[in-house]
Amino acid sequence: MIRTDTQIRDALLEACHRGGLDTSTLTVEVQGNALIVKETVASEEDRRKLWDLLETVDSRITDFTSHVRVVAIPASDRTPVPAPSSPARPQHPGPL
């Protein structure tokens, strides 16, 4: 299956969400076999995590250009990453 540029971008965004990365400042461009990513992340760990995800998005992507800045972002200013939906667990009544 040949993936379109939009599908490659969407796959990267989904991978970032699964990895717990904030994508509110993420810019992704696909140009042929090149993936150009611009992002500001809150930690060096997030920068490494993003780089690892870039390599898994699509096997046709052979050239990565990454402009990722690490800037400590206060937790109160971060966009929360929604947790994956899971079935509701039954509530057990507490002690009476």
Q: List, as one string, the DSSP characters of 3-62.
A: PPHHHHHHHHHHHHHHTT---TT-EEEEETTEEEEEEEESSHHHHHHHHHHHTTS-TT--
Please state the domain count of the chain: 1
Looking at the domain assignment, is residue 26 inside a domain? yes
CATH number at residue 17: 3.30.1340.30
Instruction: For residue 18, give the nearest of 57, 68, 44 by alpha carbon.
Output: 57
pLDDT tens per residue, the chain (96 residues)?
A: 456 888 888 888 888 888 888 888 888 888 877 888 888 888 889 888 988 888 787 777 778 787 788 887 566 665 555 544 544 444 445 455
Where in the sequence is the domain holding 39, given as residue range(s)?
A: 5-75
The tally of CA atoms less than 13 A away on the side-chain side of residue 9 is 14
